[in-house]
């Protein structure tokens, strides 16, 4: 199953070291770019990450990045 494209571009979010985040891999969350449990029955599971720096993170909104949960520019190649 292909993930849903939540947005064809990254979400710039403020993250903090010492916290754990769960990036939405399925694209269905209403709380992008984070998981809200909507992946149920999609076969997708969220990607956990713990930032190494406090500050802005650019998290993939298209869900097709090859470096999840981060945007790697793949969104520019999507139809």
- For ligand FES, the binding residues (CB under 6 A) are 9-10, 24-26, 28-29, 35-39, 44, 46, 60-62, 64-65, 71-75
What is the C-alpha separation between 13 and 40, in angstroms, rounded?
Answer: 24
Query: Can you read off the two tokens belonging to residue 13?
Result: 């979010």
- Of 18 and 40, CB closest to ligand FES: 40
When the beta carbons of 21 and 61 are compared against ligand FES, the nearer one is: 61
Nearer to ligand FES, 37 or 55 (CB): 37
**Residue 33: which of 53, 9, 66 has the closest Cα?**
9
Smallest distance, ligand FES to C-beta of residue 13, A = 12
């Amino acid at each position: 199953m292909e993930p849903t494209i939540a947005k064809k571009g990254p979400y710039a979010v403020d993250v903090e070291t010492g916290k754990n985040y769960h990036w939405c891999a399925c694209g269905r969350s209403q709380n992008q770019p984070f998981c809200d449990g909507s992946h149920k029955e999609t076969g997708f599971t969220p990607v956990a990450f713990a930032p190494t720096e406090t500050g802005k993170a650019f998290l993939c909104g298209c869900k097709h990045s090859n470096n999840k949960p981060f945007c790697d520019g793949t969104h520019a190649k999507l139809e």
